[in-house]
Amino acid sequence: MNELSGVLFYLIGVNIFTYILMGMDKQKAIKKKYRIPERTFWLLSLLGGALGVLIGMKAFRHKTKHKSFQYGAPILLIVNIVCFVYLFFYMS
């Protein structure tokens, strides 16, 4: 497995993980249980999981009223894409 496929595998994994956490947090919110901190979602978004956050927001209708998530997640997705494109051209 070359470096590029490793990066792609990582991005898929972190986005699936982030999406699942969004669903879990929504269920915890409904049941009024201990929630996953927002900083966890921000950290995962910075580490490449912004797409998972955005898809989770839409699928679970979760954190859609938070302005920080409405604007911050798409911005971090753009940052993720720019970093991935940079890595793609740097590694090839």
pLDDT at 82: 94
Mean pLDDT for the chain overall: 92
Task: Give the three-state DSSP class for 92.
Answer: coil
Q: CA of 37: how far to CAs of 7, 40, 53, 82, 83, in Å? A: 26, 6, 13, 27, 25
Whole-model pTM? 0.89
Q: Pick from 30, 31, 82, 29: which is nearest to 41 by CA?
A: 29
Q: 37 is in which domain, residue-wise? A: 3-91
Q: How many structural domains is the chain composed of?
A: 1
Per-residue pLDDT of the chain (92 residues; tens, 9 = 90+): 677 788 889 999 999 999 999 999 999 999 999 999 999 999 999 999 999 999 999 999 888 888 889 999 999 999 999 998 888 887 76
Write the burial class of residue 6 (CB in 10 Å: 0-12 exposed, 13-18 middle, 19+ buried).
exposed
H-helix segments, 1-92: 3-30, 38-44, 50-60, 67-91
